[in-house]
Structure 1
Amino acid sequence: MTENTVKPIIGLIGTGVMGKSMAGHYLKAGYEVHVYTRTKEKAQDLLDTGAKWQESPGALAQQCQVIMTMVGFPSDVEEIYFGENGILAMAQPGSYLIDLTTSSPSLAKRIYEEGLTRQLFALDAPVSGGDIGAREARLSIMVGGSSEVFERMLPLFQYMGTNIVHQGEAGAGQHTKMCNQIAIASNMMGVVEALVYAKKAGLDPTTVLKSIETGAAGSWSLSNLGPRMIADNFAPGFYVKHFIKDMKIALQSADEMGVELPGLTLAKSLYEQLAAMGEEESGTQALYKLINK
């Protein structure tokens, strides 16, 4: 896909916190973009800036050469790909299917294998970086599938991210995202506990951050979500409900491999307590509310 190549028509299913920014980057770059989401009003800003609305995933798939999906749960992925009028049934042969959802590695393999029987080329490409990374086009993108297909799609990935790595065969992107979520889960507990401790010790948490975020304790969550916790800003960059979903996928995959993950098990139990408090729609930094009670 060089400068002189005709730009493919891009379809994006799911225009939430992340998907909206992704579609916006392609519109700004001059691509024809078609969108679908369950609630049309959520896509209105994109429609106002030139995106074209489609009434279903299948209708979108018929119109686009590159179909990207960014939805909530593996059950959503399965429905929009394998449904009677879903993407796999309706996409034109030769199309590229890119699932950006954090989903099940085994489901990614099913999409890849079924796609090949229909001359469709699938990649699993979950992302990390939250709302800020999506907005600023500096996501980390972890890709599984054919290396040849990855190279063809790399120019499109570069509109969304800066750290784009082909991890291996189908499902490898999802496994890598599980590694990412496992690391975040335990780190988030540490960030929250550190800031609660600082507050209880009578320190200024903002001043504490200045000392610890550039040292050995430094992390993306500490620098980006720590200030939100201090400001009581629990708006979602990434929803609690989706993080719980990711942790369940990781624990299920780990169980299948005979791996014990005690830190992740604890983090999941804490986030489930947080969700029971009515915080499912909050950002993951809302764990601060549970520990700071």
Structure 2
Amino acid sequence: MNFSGGNVKVKTISFIGTGVMGASIVSHLLQAGYPVTVYTRTKEKAEPLLTEGAKWAPSVAEAVQKADLIFTMVGMPADVKEIYLNDNGILANGTNGQIVVDMTTSSPALAKEIEKAASEKGMAALDAPVSGGDVGAKNGTLSIMCGGEESIFEKVRPIFSIFGSRIVRQGGAGAGQHTKMSNQLAIATNMIGVCEALSYAEQAGLDPERVLESISPGAAGSWSLSNLGPRMLAGNFEPGFYTKHFLKDLRIALDEARRMNLDLPGLQLAMRLYEDLMDKGYGDKGTQVLFKHYQ
């Protein structure tokens, strides 16, 4: 690897998983002048990035072998486990000195498992889930919550700063994932409040867009109210973040809460509502589709 002091001088970055969020992050890296190799299960989804100058890897193994720094952003914890720990995965093909950064929202326990396995190969691992949705990814203003060794975090921080505006190391391996669970819990109950506030406004005969204008800057203000409230009213339920992935996060949070003997009734209510939306076929819609429950 070609690292110098606390700054990272990367010969090659690989990015595995170029979905709604990942594609914007790769675009920022390319615009910053970094060579990026990408791998995703469906090459067609990566074509816009290839047009921008990204290189294509036909397999995880090839993406890993060409990289100093490897980012992953896939769907589910099962996908993370497969892509890191199977015989054809990242760690099987990795070499001493490489850094891997998983940006998927996943299990804290799995983050610790990956960090341990990476260390045994002379590699370093960070868990670095993000918040800010598709808007934050496009604008390069994501909040990045990181777990892992401080020295490794400091080496990667300059790269994080290309697509993130708030970058915080929360602690050791798994701490980033625990922080993301706190984030998702705050969003889950807030989303219920946003939907109920707009439904109430409509039923009261008010103009809900005008209501948003009044309440968004005040004490009721939140990212969800300002960014997703208008989408709800416009009937725009396309994903900035998939409902199926959000429900996955809530299930992880509930499992962790049970391990800590923590009763979270708001989380349980949000889970029931989103499970109902999944049963109705809205898994590939954005989290703001919760508004349909109130319609």
* Aligned mates of 1:145, 1:30 — CA distance in 2: 26
Asked if residue 171 in structure 1 is aligned to residue 159 in structure 2, the reply is: no
In 2, Cα distance between equivalents of 1:171 and 1:59: 27
Distance 1:94 1:254 in 2: 35
For 2:199, the equivalent position in structure 1 comes to 196
Residue 63 of structure 1: aligned partner: 66
Match of 1:152 in 2: 155
Gaps of 5+ in 1: none
Q: Who is 1:227 aligned against? A: 230
RMSD: 1.2
Aligned counterparts of 1:7 and 1:97: Cα–Cα separation in 2: 13
Does 1:85 pair with 2:92? Answer: no
SS at match of 1:140: strand
CA contact (8 A) 2:181 2:253 kept: yes
Seen in structure 2, the aligned counterparts of structure 1 residues 247 and 114 have a Cα distance that, compared at 3 Å, is same
Question: CA 1:262 to 1:28, structure 2 compared with 1: closer, same or farther past 3 Å?
Answer: same
- The equivalences for 1:39-54 within 5 A come to 39-54=42-57
Q: After the TM superposition, which residues 98-247 of structure 1 pair with which residues of structure 2 at under 5 Å, given as runs? A: 98-247=101-250
Deviation at 1:91, TM superposition (A): 1.3
Query: Does 1:263 find its partner at 2:269?
Result: no
Deviation at 1:7, TM superposition (A): 3.1
Q: CA 1:5–1:194 in 2, change beyond 3 Å: closer, same or farther?
A: closer
Query: For the Cα contact (< 8 Å) 1:65–1:92, is it kept in 2?
Result: no
Asked whether the 8 Å contact 1:104–1:174 carries over to 2, the reply is yes
- Structure 1 window deviating more from structure 2 (1-10 vs 138-147): it is 1-10
- Superposition misfits of 4+ residues, deviation over 2 angstroms: 1-8
CA deviation profile, 1:54-80 (whole Å, cap 9, x unmatched)? 111121111100000000000000000
Shifted more, 223-232 versus 7-16: the winner is: 7-16
* In 2: Cα distance, 1:270 partner to 1:3 partner: 46
- What count of residue pairs does the alignment treat as equivalent? 292
| The one of 254, 257, 281 aligned to 1:254 | 257
Q: Give the C-alpha shift of residue 49 in structure 1.
A: 1.3
User: Unaligned stretches of 5+ in structure 2?
Assistant: none
The alpha carbon displacement at 1:276 in A equals: 1.1
User: 1:271, 1:205 → 2: CA distance?
Assistant: 23
Which of residues 5, 10, 20 in structure 2 aligns to 1:17?
A: 20
User: SS at the partner of 2:70?
Assistant: strand
> Residues 6-54 of structure 1, C-alpha deviation per residue, up to 9 Å, x if partnerless?
4331000000000000111111111110000011100000111111111
